[in-house]
């Protein structure tokens, strides 16, 4: 049985948003809710200014706090992927509160928790996740059985106890200011007045 | 039936707008509920992944036209993926490609033909049949043909892509009045390419092999025409150590991820490029052979021409440091020939844009990167193209006359090589000159939304029945344009129709692609091409004889019929199966340097070094005793000096020595300390007006606060999110020139204070701020209007999840900035000088 691990290279990301739109189309995700999101951050002072990006999605943690937070046993981890069992989920939102980056939301229409599952339905038939398949810059890659893991890839933690399985390259720690522990990825991060560093 | 009664009745039980039924689509129309199938109860792409069918086709959510596989299950389009066979996009897509899927089943899509019953622009409509629509339009056209006034019938389109049928239609009825959007888009850039190298499209950088990208304002990370294929190859080049230098007044994603970003004063790109040329010539880091043998200027002449354009001069007009200009010129030259200097739409959208772009292109010639591996490989832009596919006979002749509307005499370069036109002047001319239209057919444009002074001048013309007698609009949603029509035709989306497609080939090997329908259009929706064919048949003699095919599909089939069989399939069948055709040819490097074939040289003759065929057409140039193809310019060389520009200018009594001199537009040269320059840009998730209704795209960008530099804002006490009043002025030279600072418009806009913009520049995007098109572009949650659109279809997202709706505390749907931007055609070509607008601001 294969295990999977997502590697996200922020240095390669071009900020195009294709990953999150492809993801939302894949699952007909509701407006305002994101399994994957891309954060923007402008740094520096005119005329020396740079723009950085950070694609984010569930980090498929080992010892995932969302799994232990679920009182219904609806969350489990298999092949390196944290999965939601729709039949068991009651939509209580305990898992949302547990995640330090906000990678889970409760669908307001179905009242079921949704999160990135690395497109398990695609992996089963030998396809790549929707985001990886469309990514023009290869900022997203899925490594199978930890073959050829890049050396500069690090876990992105928003809480010291986080145990991310997904690894990031070149993530600017300042991006964490845009995340609220226990709250799903905020759509407000798309508003351009949130792009710059706090001045 | 009274309007109020109708609304009341229909609110009760109607699942469908009945034939003859009335509907109010005015912005203030009442809402009502109806029986619906909810999108949320439909299978998702994830649910259907095992049974999905792939239909190869071509995206049209922007002009880059990437190859897609449309993912269909149970006759429903669930998503798209990149078609890996497409040699340009190579299986990759952008956000727009994925987001475009929602256009197909957008609950507010127009699905019936509608006839206006109230006043024009009032928004009261009656559902009619397609038969009645064809008859109405045909009768109105016929009236003008019978009166011997075909020029009173006009066709106005934006990203049409079906010129094969629209031109045929207009030629058949004998009207020359075809209007487009080229003058708002790229005509100065194209004119620069045409005059310099004679090529007919964008440059095609051999990006994968390129080591040094010298980028004058292209935002290819987000929006460049051909941007995705360029970005794909740039990423590979970058991984191999290539460098990217970007000049842009605003920190675009491209600028923000460049190795170096410089913000020159608007319109000064030409000065910077000329100064770099000066450095290259002074330091002798040029390609002497290319200059002497393949350009039409000697080194000595170049030296004289470039003398005034020192790095210090460019530093003064651009605000950049002379040492940076010098350093980058030398770095660029040292990467030659694997380097490319290029532009997109920014540097050319100024009054001096033609010469800005000519100066940039020239840099490639000086260092010898033209046509080279890793260089400015223009020759790759030869896709197989429309002209390679025969048009079914008989072919209607072109009208033998033109009118000032589509062939403006004041802008003689506009239509010289390609029909580029100056359509942003059309509405003003219709209002203020004797020329009026009786039939105006509009397709894929939204002039009130996207035209300079669109909300004012375009709307004034569109509203006035004395200016435009009858307006039929084909559109997918109830757009700004449809609102001012007399008859609305429900268009097919690009997932439901055919087009022969192609763009400049980034693999430098010609290819073309086929857009094909993945599902049938719903209800009465019909590809505008098919609508035109049906109208043409009704027009009878002499128009109908040019339309003796059943449908646009049959027409496309005929056009593809001469393709050789592949895999035992006919051209049409092969294209339906794979979507893409790649020619069996080598990469097209150095095409100017190819020897002419003995066949081409039969009965040819040479005069003053130029090779002519027996008909007297120049086909090449003698080069070291060999007949070569050369460039498609009058001299058959790379033309730094352009005799065409010199003589065209002379015809208008304008003095121009034909060299790409730099001269700043007067308004910008005379800018005062309290004035700023307003510029525009596009986002990576939007294309002009068409993406507004697509929910996953508008979710990312729906608002357009105006970008203002932090230091400038501080001086004016403006903080992020403050409302400011912006007032814009007419240019000091050109159309409606005003030395008295005549106001164009004032507007209140929210400020976005950022380090990422030049201190004297403001930037605001289009694509948002729509008043029509349904709940998504308007950012208004609510129940579906009792309307013509998908009668039994609804998306719960539109009832309460539009989180940017101001009534939910969101930022709203932005503003349309185009009332601020004056109609400002650049000299000779008429390109809209989008980025020359002088304005003042104050905090409210």
List, in order, residues 6 or more apart from B701 with CB less than 8 Å away: A190, B683, B685, B686, B765, B767, B768
Would you state the pLDDT for residue B8?
33
Strand pairing report for B610-612 and B605-607: antiparallel
- B379-398 confidence digits (pLDDT tens): 655 555 556 788 999 999 99
- B105-137 confidence digits (pLDDT tens): 999 899 999 999 999 999 999 999 999 999 999
Does residue B31 register a pLDDT over 70?
Answer: no
**Backbone phi, then psi, for B342, in 5-degree steps?**
-150, 170
**CATH number of the A4-191 domain:** 3.30.70.20
Cβ–Cβ under 8 Å, residues A163 and A62: yes
Nearest residue to B531 via CA among B59, B138, B65, B127: B138
- B331-355 confidence digits (pLDDT tens): 999 999 999 999 999 999 999 999 9
- B668-677 confidence digits (pLDDT tens): 999 999 999 9
Does residue B24 register a pLDDT over 80?
Answer: no
List, in order, residues 6 or more apart from B675 with CB less than 8 Å away: B838, B839, B840
The reply to whether residue B755 touches residue A49, judged by beta carbons under 8 angstroms, is: yes
Q: What is the Cα–Cα distance from A60 to A78, expressed in whole angstroms?
A: 10
Residue whose entry in the numeric block shows the structure tokens 């410089």 = B262
All residues of chain A having their beta carbon less than 8 Å from the beta carbon of residue B695 are 31
Q: What is the Cα–Cα distance from A23 to A25, expressed in whole angstroms?
A: 5
Within 48-67 of A, beta carbons closer than 8 Å to B belong to 49-52
Cβ–Cβ under 8 Å, residues B552 and B530: yes
For residue B83, give both structure tokens. Answer: 């078609």
**Backbone phi, then psi, for B418, in 5-degree steps?**
-140, 155
pLDDT category at B788 given cuts 50, 70, 90 is low
Would you state the pLDDT for residue B793?
77
Would you state the pLDDT for residue B30?
45
For residue B432, give both structure tokens. Answer: 């203020």
- B465-476 confidence digits (pLDDT tens): 999 999 999 999
Does residue B6 register a pLDDT over 60?
Answer: no
- Inform me whether the C-beta atom of residue B794 falls under 8 Å from chain A C-beta atoms: no
User: What percent of chain B clears pLDDT 70, i.e. is strictly above it?
Assistant: 94
Nearest residue to B408 via CA among B826, B834, B833: B826
Nearest residue to B511 via CA among B380, B381, B388, B384: B384
Nearest neighbour of B755 by CB, restricted to A42, A110, A138: A42
For residue B689, give both structure tokens. Answer: 């007006």
Q: What is the Cα–Cα distance from B244 to B213, expressed in whole angstroms?
A: 5
Would you state the pLDDT for residue A64?
96
| DSSP output for B676-688 | EEEEEE--TT--T
User: What percent of chain B clears pLDDT 90, i.e. is strictly above it?
Assistant: 86
CA distances from B386 to B308, B512, B559 (A): 44, 9, 9
The reply to whether residue A27 touches residue B95, judged by beta carbons under 8 angstroms, is: no
B307 three-state secondary structure? coil
- B70-98 confidence digits (pLDDT tens): 999 999 999 999 999 999 999 999 999 99
Cβ–Cβ under 8 Å, residues B35 and B130: no
Q: What is the Cα–Cα distance from B547 to B549, expressed in whole angstroms?
A: 6
Question: What is this model's ipTM?
Answer: 0.98
Nearest neighbour of B46 by CB, restricted to A26, A138, A192: A26
Domain ranges of chain A: 4-191
Would you state the pLDDT for residue B386?
52
All residues of chain B having their beta carbon less than 8 Å from the beta carbon of residue A129 are none
Would you state the pLDDT for residue B35?
55
| Sign of the C-alpha dihedral computed for residues B323, B327, B333 and B336 taken in this order | negative
Cβ count near B719 (within 10 Å): 11
All residues of chain A having their beta carbon less than 8 Å from the beta carbon of residue B712 are none
Does residue B3 register a pLDDT over 60?
Answer: no
Q: What is the Cα–Cα distance from B543 to B437, expressed in whole angstroms?
A: 20
- Inform me whether the C-beta atom of residue B232 falls under 8 Å from chain A C-beta atoms: yes
- Inform me whether the C-beta atom of residue B92 falls under 8 Å from chain A C-beta atoms: yes
Strand pairing report for B676-681 and B626-628: unpaired
- Inform me whether the C-beta atom of residue A154 falls under 8 Å from chain B C-beta atoms: no
Average pLDDT score, chain B: 93
- Inform me whether the C-beta atom of residue B723 falls under 8 Å from chain A C-beta atoms: no
User: What percent of chain A clears pLDDT 90, i.e. is strictly above it?
Assistant: 95
Half-sphere exposure of B584 (CA within 13 A, CB side): 2
What's the rounded mean pLDDT across residues B599-607?
Answer: 94
Would you state the pLDDT for residue B10?
33
Nearest neighbour of A25 by CB, restricted to B98, B222, B754: B98
Would you state the pLDDT for residue B32?
41
Within 45-64 of B, beta carbons closer than 8 Å to A belong to 45-46, 49-50
| Shortest distance, CA A70 to any CA of chain B (angstroms) | 24
A27 sits in which H/E element: helix A18-27
Please list, residue by residue across B96-116, b when 16 or more beta carbons sit within 10 angstroms of its beta carbon and e when fewer do.
bbbbbbbbbbbbbbbbbbbbb
- 3-state secondary structure labels for all residues of B417-483: CCCCCCHHHHHHHHHHCCCCEEEEEEECCCHHHHCCCHHHHHHHHHHCCCCEEEEEEEECECCHHHH
Q: What is the Cα–Cα distance from B546 to B189, expressed in whole angstroms?
A: 35
Cβ–Cβ under 8 Å, residues B420 and B191: yes
Cβ count near B554 (within 10 Å): 15
Q: What is the Cα–Cα distance from A139 to A142, expressed in whole angstroms?
A: 10
- Inform me whether the C-beta atom of residue B240 falls under 8 Å from chain A C-beta atoms: no
Would you state the pLDDT for residue B27?
54
| Shortest distance, CA B589 to any CA of chain A (angstroms) | 26
Domains of chain B listed by start with CATH number: 3-16+24-101 (2.20.25.90), 129-185+387-501+517-578 (3.40.50.740), 198-381 (3.40.228.10), 595-628 (no CATH), 666-779+814-843 (2.40.40.20)
Does residue B704 register a pLDDT over 60?
Answer: yes
What's the rounded mean pLDDT across residues B617-632?
Answer: 96
For residue B617, give both structure tokens. Answer: 């057409």
What's the rounded mean pLDDT across residues B45-58?
Answer: 97
What's the rounded mean pLDDT across residues B262-270?
Answer: 98
Would you state the pLDDT for residue B389?
86
Would you state the pLDDT for residue B385?
52
- Inform me whether the C-beta atom of residue A170 falls under 8 Å from chain B C-beta atoms: no
Strand pairing report for A4-9 and A167-169: parallel
**B38, B47, B94, best to mutate vs chain A, most A CBs in 10 Å:** B94
All residues of chain B having their beta carbon less than 8 Å from the beta carbon of residue A46 are 263, 709-711, 755-757, 759
């Amino acid at each position: 049985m294969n295990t999977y691990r997502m590697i996200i290279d922020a240095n390669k990301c071009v900020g195009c948003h294709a990953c999150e739109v492809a993801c939302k189309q894949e699952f007909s995700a509701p407006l305002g809710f994101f399994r994957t999101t891309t954060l923007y951050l402008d740094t520096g002072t005119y005329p020396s200014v740079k723009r950085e990006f950070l694609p984010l999605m569930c980090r498929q943690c080992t010892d995932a706090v969302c799994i232990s937070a679920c009182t219904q046993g609806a969350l489990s981890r298999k092949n390196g992927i944290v999965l939601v069992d729709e039949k068991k989920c009651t939509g209580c939102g305990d898992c949302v509160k547990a995640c330090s980056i906000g990678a889970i939301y409760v669908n307001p229409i179905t009242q079921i928790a949704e999160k990135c599952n690395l497109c398990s339905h695609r992996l089963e038939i030998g396809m790549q996740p929707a985001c990886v398949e469309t990514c023009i810059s290869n900022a997203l890659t899925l490594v199978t059985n930890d073959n050829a893991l890049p050396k500069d890839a690090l876990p992105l933690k928003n809480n010291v106890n986080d145990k991310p399985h997904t690894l990031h390259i070149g993530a600017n720690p300042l991006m964490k200011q845009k995340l609220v522990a226990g709250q799903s990825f905020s759509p407000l991060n798309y508003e351009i007045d949130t792009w710059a560093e706090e001045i | 039936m009274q309007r109020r009664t109708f609304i009341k009745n229909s609110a009760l039980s109607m699942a469908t707008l009945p034939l003859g039924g009335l509907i109010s689509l005015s912005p203030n129309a009442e809402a009502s509920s109806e029986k619906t199938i909810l999108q949320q109860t439909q299978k998702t792409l994830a649910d259907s992944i095992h049974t999905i069918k792939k239909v190869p086709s071509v995206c049209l959510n922007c002009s880059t036209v990437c190859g897609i596989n449309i993912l269909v299950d149970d006759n429903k389009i669930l998503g798209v993926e990149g078609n890996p066979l497409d040699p340009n996009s190579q299986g990759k897509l952008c956000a727009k490609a994925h987001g475009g899927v929602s256009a197909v089943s957008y609950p507010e899509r127009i699905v019936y033909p509608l006839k206006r019953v109230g006043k024009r622009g009032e928004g009261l409509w009656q559902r009619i049949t397609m038969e009645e629509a064809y008859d109405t339009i045909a009768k109105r056209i016929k009236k003008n043909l019978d009166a011997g006034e075909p020029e009173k019938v006009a066709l106005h389109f934006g990203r049409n892509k079906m010129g094969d049928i629209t031109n045929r239609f207009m030629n058949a009825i004998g009207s020359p009045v075809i209007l487009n959007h080229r003058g708002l888009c790229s005509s100065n850039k194209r004119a620069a390419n045409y005059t310099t190298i004679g090529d007919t499209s964008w440059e095609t950088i051999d990006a994968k092999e390129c080591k040094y990208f010298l980028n004058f304002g292209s935002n290819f990370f987000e929006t460049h025409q051909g941007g995705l294929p360029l970005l794909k190859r740039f990423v590979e080049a970058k991984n191999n150590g290539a460098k990217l230098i970007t000049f842009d007044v605003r920190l675009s994603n491209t600028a923000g991820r460049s190795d170096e970003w410089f913000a020159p004063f608007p319109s000064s790109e030409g000065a910077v490029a000329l100064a770099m040329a000066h450095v290259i010539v002074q330091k002798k880091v040029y390609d002497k052979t290319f200059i002497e043998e393949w350009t039409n200027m000697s080194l000595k002449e170049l030296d004289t021409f470039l003398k005034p354009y020192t790095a210090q001069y460019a530093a003064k007009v651009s605000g950049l440091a002379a040492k940076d200009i010098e350093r980058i010129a030398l770095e660029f030259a040292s990467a030659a020939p694997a380097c490319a200097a290029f532009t997109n739409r920014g540097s050319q959208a100024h009054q001096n844009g033609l010469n800005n772009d000519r100066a940039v292109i020239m840099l490639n010639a000086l260092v010898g990167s033209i046509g080279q591996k890793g260089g400015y490989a223009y020759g790759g832009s030869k896709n197989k193209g429309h002209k390679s596919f025969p048009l079914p006979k008989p072919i209607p002749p072109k009208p033998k006359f033109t009118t000032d509307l589509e062939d403006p005499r004041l802008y003689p370069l506009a239509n010289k090589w390609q029909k580029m036109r100056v359509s942003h002047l059309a509405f003003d001319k219709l209002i203020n000159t004797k020329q009026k239209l009786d039939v105006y057919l509009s397709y894929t444009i939204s002039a009130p939304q996207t035209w300079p002074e669109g909300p004012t001048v375009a709307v004034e013309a569109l509203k006035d029945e004395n200016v435009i007698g009858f307006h039929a609009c084909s559109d997918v949603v109830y757009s700004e344009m449809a609102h001012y029509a007399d008859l609305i035709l429900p268009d097919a989306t690009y997932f439901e129709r055919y087009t022969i497609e192609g763009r400049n080939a980034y693999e430098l090997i010609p290819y073309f692609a086929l857009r094909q329908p993945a599902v049938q259009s719903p209800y009465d929706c019909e590809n505008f091409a098919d609508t035109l064919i049906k109208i043409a048949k009704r027009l009878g003699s002499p128009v109908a004889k040019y339309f003796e095919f059943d449908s646009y599909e049959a027409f496309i089939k005929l056009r593809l019929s001469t393709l050789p069989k592949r895999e035992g399939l006919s051209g049409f069948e092969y294209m339906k199966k794979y979507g893409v055709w790649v020619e069996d040819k080598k990469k097209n490097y150095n095409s100017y340097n190819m020897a002419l074939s003995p066949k081409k040289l039969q009965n040819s003759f040479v005069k003053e070094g130029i090779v002519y065929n027996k008909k007297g057409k120049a086909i090449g140039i003698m080069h070291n005793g060999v007949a070569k193809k050369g460039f498609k310019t009058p001299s058959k060389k790379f033309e730094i000096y352009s005799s065409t520009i010199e003589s065209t200018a002379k015809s208008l009594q304008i003095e121009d020595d034909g060299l790409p001199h730099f001269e700043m537009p007067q308004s910008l040269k005379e800018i005062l300390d309290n004035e700023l320059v307003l510029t525009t840009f596009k986002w990576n998730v939007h294309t002009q007006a068409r993406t507004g209704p697509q929910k996953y795209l508008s979710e990312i960008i729906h608002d357009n606060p105006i970008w203002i530099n932090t230091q400038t804002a501080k001086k004016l006490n403006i903080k992020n999110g403050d409302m400011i009043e912006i007032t814009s002025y007419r240019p000091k030279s050109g159309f409606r020139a005003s030395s008295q600072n005549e106001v164009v418009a004032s507007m209140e806009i929210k400020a976005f204070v950022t380090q990422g913009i030049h201190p004297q520049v403001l930037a605001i995007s289009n694509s948002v701020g729509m008043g029509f098109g349904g709940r998504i572009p308007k950012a208004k949650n609510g129940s579906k209007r009792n309307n013509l659109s998908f009668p039994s279809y609804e998306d719960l997202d539109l009832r309460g999840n539009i989180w940017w709706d101001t009534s939910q505390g969101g930022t709203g749907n932005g503003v349309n900035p185009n009332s601020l931007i004056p109609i400002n055609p650049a000299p000779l070509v008429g390109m809209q000088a989008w980025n020359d607008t002088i304005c003042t601001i104050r905090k409210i």
